[in-house]
Amino acid sequence: MKLSARDSARYFASPDPDRTGLLIYGADAMRTALKRQEVIAALIGPQGEEEMRLTRIPGGELRKDPARLGDAIKEISFFPGPRVAFVEDATDAAAPAILAALEDWSPGDAQIIVTAGQLKASSKVRKAFEVHANAYAVGIYNDPPSRAEIEADLARSGLKNVEHEAMTDLNNLARELDPGDFRQTLEKLALYKFEDDLPVTSEDVMACAPLSTEAALDDVLNIVAEGRPQEIGPVLRKLQAQGVNPVALLISATRHFRALYTAASDPGGASAGIARMRPPIFGPRRDRMMRQASGWGAAKLEQALTGLTDTDLQLRSAGQRAPDMALVERLFLRLAMLGRR
């Protein structure tokens, strides 16, 4: 039977132990791996593998030894409790062994859990699970987790008191990160709030979120946008020593000021403009950019973008002989002074 995306999250958290099996397939190996970890843990418990109630079988081995899966579902563990025969990275080459095990399965046997990559509708393995009366097939797509899934992950991590703004930040973060990184972020957040009864805040989320590769660039951009010209020189020297080139600085500055201009010129105000941006901006960074956009205003931001474009053309000019970093530093100083007017 097919399991819909809407019902799959609930089923993964509380699977039916009397089912013959479950096929989880999708193009993203990390997403399918996280889902099968969840469903297997729900079936056999945290001690299931130690108690030898989980049998792992690489899909490629079933072609050489088709009887291995059939033997695995009939094996009896020394320990009581549900059992799982897990086939990893199955393809249609393993279809004969999987189909034979599905047909031979009887109540009391180990449940068959199979993971696979992207399977066509004509796939023999996919068809076998979709038409089976007591098994499920579910496709995992590259969609960000829903709010309900995030709340379920938070609850499993022991985080039940989350402020509205922090939940919004987590939703935005889930769209930016791949599933494995997002799961690690939630685990880090749970450790960060260990024995802390206060609600999870946006600051907590930011403290645990992966650092952006552009974090150092953000520092100098905020200095410019907030009109602090006296701090520009030292930060630029540090960035230059780290290997950041003037072109990268200029590209980042143009992107930052373009985002501020988009927010400042939004009919609904800077807050509405920031909320519409993709990728989303969250946490304290969102509030900071909102203040910057409101402080500059659309007119001054237009002047800033003009200056950035002119300097970009100057850097690309064949006749340009002044040091590139000196040109960028001079521009940043002018922008910082403009922002203070």
- Please report which confidence band the pLDDT of residue 216 belongs to, taking 50, 70 and 90 as the band edges: low
Q: 160 and 114 in one domain?
A: no
pLDDT at 212 over 70: no
pLDDT at 238 over 90: no
> What pLDDT shows up at residue 21?
96
Q: 281 and 266 in one domain?
A: yes
How do residues 306-324 score in pLDDT, each as one tens digit?
999 999 888 887 677 778 8
Q: What percent of the chain has pLDDT over 90?
A: 46
Q: What percent of the chain has pLDDT over 70?
A: 98
Q: 275 and 193 in one domain?
A: no
Q: 329 and 227 in one domain?
A: yes
- Give the CATH number, domain containing residue 48: 3.40.50.300
What average pLDDT score do residues 124-149 get?
89
Give CA–CA dist 195/304, Å, rounded: 47
The reply to whether the predicted model has a pTM over 0.75 is no
Q: 233 and 154 in one domain?
A: no
Q: 242 and 193 in one domain?
A: no
Q: 157 and 129 in one domain?
A: no
What is the average pLDDT score of the chain? 88
By C-alpha distance, which of 213, 313, 300 is closest to 257?
300
Q: 151 and 225 in one domain?
A: no
Q: 129 and 32 in one domain?
A: yes
> Which has the minimum average pLDDT: 6-10, 11-15, 228-232?
6-10
- Please report which confidence band the pLDDT of residue 214 belongs to, taking 50, 70 and 90 as the band edges: very low
Give CA–CA dist 176/154, Å, rounded: 18
> What pLDDT shows up at residue 211?
58
Q: 203 and 220 in one domain?
A: no
Q: Which residue has the higher pLDDT, 279 or 100?
A: 100
Q: 329 and 240 in one domain?
A: yes
List the strands of the sheet with 54-58, edge to edge.
54-58, 84-90, 111-116, 21-25, 135-139
By C-alpha distance, which of 59, 150, 133, 53 is closest to 96?
59
By C-alpha distance, which of 184, 165, 331 is closest to 246?
331
Give CA–CA dist 125/93, Å, rounded: 9
Last residue of a domain, one of 208, 226, 246: 208
> Which has the minimum average pLDDT: 88-92, 263-267, 317-321, 333-337?
317-321
* Count of domains observed in the chain: 3
How do residues 17-33 score in pLDDT, each as one tens digit?
999 999 999 988 888 99
How do residues 149-203 score in pLDDT, each as one tens digit?
888 888 888 888 899 888 888 887 887 777 778 888 888 999 999 888 899 998 8
pLDDT at 106 over 50: yes
What sign does the dihedral 55-60-61-63 (CA atoms) show?
Answer: positive
Query: Cβ distance 295 to 199 under 8 Å?
Result: no
- Give the CATH number, domain containing residue 278: 1.20.272.10
Domain containing 32: what range? 5-139
